[in-house]
Structure 1
């Protein structure tokens, strides 16, 4: 997908993305590379083939740092390696998440801890390290979801995490504003990644969700590139502490 806008201030920027090798994260890596940014990303699965694809497409490769972002020490170490390669992180995108379906009466304390570690704790500690590096300001973008705004059932720990992300975003925007660090959340609708198509996107559920959207087309990972670039760029320089919805018109804010 060719982006309709160029954000000139992102050229050469040091960008760090969690989960940047697959799904929405891979689209973001592609989109930032197209803007001339220097991208590093963390992921648990081997992303060598994707790195090669990006090198062939853009003439330079993203820095892939393999690891589990719930290991805070390792997460911070990879962010340090990103800074060594590209300079201090200017843009942090907390994208990686797990929306595994689960019921209230089947959830255990261990499963709760794991879901919170993936979907909220890792976000917080990535923000912590990014803030340390952003001596001259920067942009943090935390991916949330409209699922908690809709009151969706079927994954209550995930929706709890989404609500926590929005609250954390607003508090950190207040705390980090004096350092010229902007912190915003982006809440996508149902983005049809391959994982969603393989595991949960039944024809009936897809039709019902599309009926709720104003725009009568399903969302793809590429639909998240433009909003993320905007929040990363100084084009949104007066915006912080906000939760921006990109869902095709399901929920309303304001």
Structure 2
């Protein structure tokens, strides 16, 4: 990371990340620790979350993992409150937790739809609500919500997921006005095709990778680090007048 930017404003800042135990989330936890932020992160994968926290703590990072299922709003509110009690107001909130389950339209039922909205959209609203008072009292903060380019690409079999991710962009823009008077910025990040372990297990193959890379303007794999560096910038004071915006990190695929 030495060749990339350091952000003095992130040093000591309390950052809260959902879905931080693996994939892009874990990379963001690592990058914020390298910036000497205080990082609270949550997940349902306790094995990966505790291992990541132990490793980064051993390297001198200030990091705390807590178990939380983001579909349980009461639990989500409680862990956000506990994190703020431990390390003070949350200065940057990263709403990363999601699940891109694929369900063909003819197989989609009400229960699956509701579950995917709860996993991908509902918690974003209430996490933002939960940090509002603390950020307002501190004079401001930054919220980064995660969406997906899947609805822009018209991807198949993910109508519930894509609907939630498209709605996240509208939510972000609305919240930027609701929270702007308190000095809180709200932006959206859309990661491109990133080969996580989940994707490798479920649907990635060499033929698909070849197709994706050919269709990108930049013919290289998008890495979790590329997304993490965008999030660092949006969490730092360097982006202090940037809000209500949508940032796609996909090598020019859409």
TM-score between both structures, scaled by the size of structure 1: 0.96
**Does 1:193 find its partner at 2:196?**
yes
How much does 1:190 deviate?
0.8
- Give, in angstroms, the shift of residue 132 of structure 1: 2.1
Deviation, structure 1 residue 56: 2.4
Whole-Å Cα distance in 2 between the matches of residues 66 and 10 of structure 1? 24
Partner of 1:87: 88
Give the alignment of 1:59-208 within 5 angstroms. 59-135=60-136, 136-208=139-211
Q: Which runs of 5+ in 1 are unaligned?
A: none
1:78-119: per-residue Cα shift (whole Å, max 9, x none)? 001110111101100000110011111101100001000000
Deviations 1:178-210 (A, max 9, x none): 110000000111111111112111222111111
The structural deviation recorded for 1:223 is 1.4
Q: Is the Cα contact below 8 Å between 1:52 and 1:61 reproduced in 2?
A: no
Give the secondary-structure state (helix, strand or coil) at the position aligned to 1:142. strand
Between stretches 108-117 and 130-139, larger displacement belongs to 130-139
Large movers: runs of 4+ above 2 Å: none
What's the counterpart of residue 227 of structure 2? 224
Say if 2:68 and 2:75, in contact at 8 Å, map to a contact too. Answer: yes
Contact kept, 8 Å, 1:54 with 1:62, in 2: the verdict is yes
Q: Distance in 2 between matches of 1:240 and 1:8?
A: 20
Note the C-alpha offset of 1:3.
Answer: 5.8
Q: CA deviation at 1:153?
A: 1.4
Q: Confirm or deny: 8 A CA contact 2:36 2:62 kept in the other structure.
A: no
**More off after superposition, 130-139 vs 108-117:** 130-139
Partner of 1:39: 39
Partner Cα separation in structure 1 for residue 33 and residue 70 of structure 2: 22
TM-score calculated relative to the size of structure 2? 0.96
Contact in 2 for aligned 1:27/1:221 (Cα 8 Å): yes
CA contact (8 A) 1:17 1:40 kept: yes
Q: Is the 8 A contact 2:192 2:222 kept in 1?
A: yes
Aligned to 1:168, what secondary structure does the other structure show?
helix
What is the SS of the residue equivalent to 1:158?
helix
CA drift of 1:60 comes to 2.9
**Which is further off, 152-161 or 26-35?**
152-161
Count the aligned residue pairs.
Answer: 250
Contact 1:193 1:220 in 2 (8 A): no
